[in-house]
Amino acid sequence: MTRILGLDPGTKRIGVAISDPTGAVAQSLNHVKREEGENWIDEIENLVEEYQVREVVVGFPRNMNGSEGPAAADVRHMVQILQSRLKVPIEIWDERLTTVAAERMFHETGVKQRRAKKHMDGVAATLILQGYLDYVAQRGGTKRG
């Protein structure tokens, strides 16, 4: 089996997580710096190849009421760029409260804020990807729809 890559898009960094080969468990790969130019796209493309990724899941920011916030347009643009470069399907996944959950996890485990900040994006990506993997598993391996 091949893996699924999870992304938590941010304006400065993109959190990255990868599933195990069975698609059951997500783990953090930390982050990719999102800078001007296409370096971030190249890095994600390299990860897709290196890990033999069959699908990419991108966290999609929604407001608590389900509407799309200001960051949603940026993520939609990012997904368009990825779709033009990657040869694998890209799924968007509701990421509401994943960053809050990651922050809470670091706080509850006593990790200092400065150290936690370095790993926050990867943990948020892991939570996004794990939520997606759990959803697919509950549906017997089928996606939405």
All domains in the chain, ordered by first residue: 3-138 (3.30.420.140)
Examine the pLDDT at 124 and tell me if it is beyond 50: yes
Residue 10 confidence (pLDDT) above 60: yes
Mean pLDDT, residues 93-99: 70
Q: Whole-structure pTM over 0.95, yes or no?
A: no
Tokens of 28: 């953090």
pLDDT of 145 strictly over 50: no
CB 60, CB 94: distance < 8 Å: yes
CA distance 21 to 47: 14
Structure-block tokens of residue 27:
């783990």
For residues 71 and 121, the model is more confident at: 71
pLDDT at site 65: 77
Q: Cα–Cα–Cα angle for 94, 91, 72, nearest 5°?
A: 50
Of 31 and 65, which is predicted with more confidence?
A: 31
Share of the chain above pLDDT 90, in %: 50
CA–CA distance, 116 with 139 (Å, rounded to integer) = 33
pLDDT score for 139: 81
Is the pLDDT score of 82 beyond 80? Answer: yes
pLDDT, mean over the chain: 83
Residue 126 phi, psi dihedral angles, 5° rounding: -65, -45
pLDDT cut 70: percent of the chain above it: 77
Residue 22 has phi, psi (to 5 degrees) of -85, -10
Mean pLDDT (whole number) for 29-45: 87
